Structure 1
Amino acid sequence: MKIPVGSGPVRLSLVESEDEESVRTVVRTLLADRCASDDVAAASDGRHGLSAPLWRSLAVDLGLAGLLVPEEAGGAGAGAREAGTVLEELGSAVAPVPFLTSAVIATSALVHLMSAESADQHAVRDTLAAAASGGSVLTLLLPWSTDPSGPVFTVREEPDGLRGEATPVAGADAGTFLVPALGADGAGLWLVDRAAVQVTPAVALDMTRPLATVRLDGAPARLVVRGPAAEEAVRTGLLTGAGVLASEQVGLAQWCLAETVSYLTVRRQFGRVVGGFQAIKHRLADLHIAVEGARAAARYAAATLADEPDDAPVAVAVAASVCGEVAVRAAEECVQLHGGIGMTWEHPAHLRLKRAVADQVALGTPVRHRARLGGLVGIVPDGECR
C-alpha cells in the first residue's frame, strides 16, 4: 500500500494535517510489525539482516524512497513536513534504514537541480526515478558532520577522474554517490557508481547507522552540473537534512519519555510506585516540557522547508540547536531512571542513547548551529558565537 499524499498546498502550521497523520499511522504500523527493538539490537551487532528487507518494505511497498521526488519524476511529490513525520517514527524505532541519507539529503539536492538550466536533466531525472522506485540508494559524499554552511568540497576533479576521500560518511553502502568536487573549471556535482570507489568501514557509536571512509582514486563519473548551482544543490540537501533530522531526534526523545513514564508507573521501590515520588515527577515534567518544545521547533523547521524556504535557514538552525540536546537528555534520563535494567544490553534504551549522541554531531553540532543562527539573525558575525 502506498502512503497517501495530498495535492494541495500545506498551510504553515504546527498541527499535523490528515495526510501527515495517515503517513504516521502507516509507517508506525509497519515498524511495529517489522522493526522490533530486539531485531534492531541484533542488526546493530551483525546478528540479524534487518536493514535490507525493512528498507525494501519502506522504500517500495510504502513508496518512501520517492517521498520528496516530484510526481513528474516518478515520486510522491510530498514535502519536508511528510518527511519529518516519517523520521519521527524512524527515530522512535531506531530503524536501520537509509531514508535520511538517500530519500532526503541526496534526493533534495537532485530535486533542486530540476529547475537548473545548466544541469544535465537526463541524469537528474533518471537518477531520481531510480531512487524513487527503490532500485537505487543514493548518498551525498560528504563527512557526516558537515553542516549546511560548512565546506563541501573534499574531492578534486583531475584529468583522469575524481580523486580524494570523505570520512566518516553515513549511508556508504549506497549504490550511487553524489559527489561535489572542485576542478580547473570550477565546482561540479558528479554521479559515481559504488564499484568505482573504495569503501572502508569506520568505527561508529551507533551501528544502526554505519559509517565508512570513501576514497576515490581516478574514479570515472558523470557530470550532473557545473558552476554555482552545484554548491547550491549540495547546501539545499544539507539544509533539508538538518531540518528533518530534528524530527528524528524528537521521535527518539518521545520514545524515551514514554518508555520511562510507562516503566515508572509499575516499578515499585520502598513499597511505593517509583513514579509517585515528587522528585521523579518533577524530572519527568521538565523532560516533557523540553520534548514538546523540541517538537514545535522541529515541526516549524519542516514547515518552513516545505512552504516558506526564505525562513528555513533560521528555523533549521533553531531546531538543530535544540533537538539534538533534548534527545540526548531524554535518552540519558531513560537509562538512569530505569535503574539497573537501563544499564544492560538487554534493554533497548542503549540503542536510543547511542543514536541520540551520534545524531548530536551529525550535520553540524548544536554549538555550530547556534553560531550560524547568531549570524543569520544579526546578533554576532557567523562563527563567533561559541
Structure 2
Amino acid sequence: MSQVAAVGAFDEEQLELRKTVRALLAKHSDPGAVRRATETEQGYDTALWEMLCQQVGVAALAIPEEFGGIGASAVETHLVLEELGRTLAPTPMLGSVVLGAQAILASGDTEACERLLPGIAEGTAVAALCWTGADGSWDTESVDVVATATGDGHSLTGASHFVLDGSYADVLVVAAAIDGAVALFEVDPAQESVSRRRLPTMDPTRTLSVVEFDGASARLLTTDGTAALERVRQIACVALSAEQIGAAAQSLDLTVEYSKSRVQFGRPIGSFQALKHRMADLYFLVETARSASYGAVRSLVDGAPTAATDAAVAKVYCSEALQSVAADSIQLHGGIAITWEHDAQLYFKRAHGSAQLFGQPRGYLKSLESAAGLPA
C-alpha cells in the first residue's frame, strides 16, 4: 500500500490526528531533544509526554470512556505510534498505554479499571506490565514470578525482566504463577519488597528495567492470566509494527536525502543506477510492511478471525523490514552512519532492539508454520 493509497484507509479525523502529532514532534522532538531525553532519569521527555497527553490526548485514545478515556479504536493509537517511531521519541506510550492499560482492561477487573485507567488516560500515571523472565520468552503460560496466597491477599516472589517503563511506573501489573496457572496481579511499586533498576540497553531510546519482588503484597486482577496475556501480546505486536514502519520510513527518507547531497566522481551518489535500484527495493519493503501493519490493525479493530495471524505476520515482517532498511541505511551513508552524532545508528539500534520485544520473529514464524500445517 503506497502512502497515497493509505490515506484512503483513514477518515479525516484520523488524518488530522496524525498531522497534529507529527507537527508537535517536529517542534519538540528533534534529534537533539531525543538524545537529551534518553539521558534523563526517566529516559523520556516528561514535558513532551504532558503535551501529547494534554493537548492531543494520546494516552486516552484506546481507553473506554467509562474509564476516563476517549474510546477511540486501536487505529488512532496506531497512527500516533507510527509518528513516534519516525522520530524515535521515547515516551511511555508503548509500555504504559499499550501494555499496562490493555493488561488492566484484559483482566476484566472493573474496580481496577475505574481506579487505575483514568490516571493513565490523563498521562499523570504510568503503568508497567511485568511479564517475561530472564530468557525474554514472553510466554503466556510460564512466568518466573511466583504468587502465594496469604491471609489477606497474595505475595509475590521472583523477578521480571525487560519491563518497559518499569523503573518509574506508578503501578505494576505482574504476571505470576499460582496453582499451576498464570494470573495477573496489581502491585504497588512503592513497597520496600519491590526493587527496580534500569537496564543498560543497546537502544538508548527504549527504557527497560528489571523488577524484583521479595514477598511483595499483591491484589489479584484475574486468575486467567494466560488469556489476558494472549490478548495483550496480539495488541502489542500490532502496536509495535506501527512504530517499526514509522522508523523504517524515516530511515529511508534520511538515506534518500543523503544520496542527493553526497557527491562522488562529480555527481550525487543517488544518480547512480545501482543505488537507485537499491533504494527502490527499500521503498518497496517499507510500503509492503506498511500494508502488513495497517492490515493487522484493521483485523484487530474488526475482530476478524485472522486477527491473531495478521498480528504475527506484522510482527515478523515489520521487524525484518526495519532491520533491513536500517542496515542498508548504515551502508549507504558510509562511515558517517556509525558515529554517535548521526541518526542512522539510532534507527539501527531501535530496529534490532524492537525485533526482540514480545518474542523473536523466528518464534512467530514457527507458530505460523505449525498453524498452516507446514513441516518444521
TM-score, normalisation: structure 1: 0.88
* Residues 38-92 of structure 1: per-residue CA shift (max 9 Å, x gap): 1212333459975221221222332111211011211011122112111111111
Q: 1:250 to 1:106 in 2, by over 3 A?
A: same
2:3 corresponds to which residue?
none
Q: 1:147 to 1:57 in 2, by over 3 A?
A: farther
2:147 corresponds to which residue?
157
Q: Which moved more, 1:141-150 or 1:163-172?
A: 141-150
Q: How far off its partner does 1:217 sit?
A: 0.6
Q: Counterparts of 1:229-240 in structure 2 under 5 Å?
A: 230-240=225-235
Same amino acid, percent of matched pairs: 35
In 2, the alpha carbon distance for the partners of 1:261 and 1:185 equals 54
Asked if 2 retains the 8 angstrom alpha-carbon contact of 1:89 and 1:251, the reply is yes
Secondary structure of the 1:194 match is coil
In 2, the alpha carbon distance for the partners of 1:332 and 1:99 equals 26
In 2, the alpha carbon distance for the partners of 1:189 and 1:167 equals 16
Secondary structure of the 1:265 match is helix
Q: How far off its partner does 1:322 sit?
A: 0.6
In 2, the alpha carbon distance for the partners of 1:47 and 1:181 equals 28
Q: Counterparts of 1:15-94 in structure 2 under 5 Å?
A: 15-46=9-40, 50-94=44-88
Asked if 2 retains the 8 angstrom alpha-carbon contact of 1:241 and 1:363, the reply is yes
* Residues 309-346 of structure 1: per-residue CA shift (max 9 Å, x gap): 43211101111111111101111122221123222211
* Structure 1 gap ranges (5+): 1-11
Q: Counterparts of 1:1-386 in structure 2 under 5 Å?
A: 15-46=9-40, 50-114=44-108, 119=109, 121-143=110-132, 150-159=140-149, 161-172=155-166, 173-184=168-179, 186-196=181-191, 197-226=194-223, 228=224, 230-380=225-375, 384=376
Q: 1:54 to 1:143 in 2, by over 3 A?
A: farther
Asked if 2 retains the 8 angstrom alpha-carbon contact of 1:148 and 1:242, the reply is no
Asked if 2 retains the 8 angstrom alpha-carbon contact of 1:244 and 1:301, the reply is no
Q: How far off its partner does 1:135 sit?
A: 2.0
In 1, the alpha carbon distance for the partners of 2:321 and 2:158 equals 36
Asked if 1 retains the 8 angstrom alpha-carbon contact of 2:104 and 2:112, the reply is no
Q: Which amino acid aligns with 2:175?
A: P
In 2, the alpha carbon distance for the partners of 1:310 and 1:211 equals 33
Q: How many residues align?
A: 363
RMSD: 2.2
Instruction: Show structure 1 runs of 4+ deviating over 3 A.
Output: 45-50, 144-152, 184-187
Q: Which moved more, 1:166-175 or 1:324-333?
A: 166-175
* Structure 2 gap ranges (5+): 1-5
Secondary structure of the 2:212 match is strand
* Residues 250-274 of structure 1: per-residue CA shift (max 9 Å, x gap): 0000001111111111221111111
* Residues 148-205 of structure 1: per-residue CA shift (max 9 Å, x gap): 7644522111245111111122211211111122224854311111212211222210
Asked if 2 retains the 8 angstrom alpha-carbon contact of 1:41 and 1:351, the reply is no
Asked if 2 retains the 8 angstrom alpha-carbon contact of 1:238 and 1:363, the reply is yes
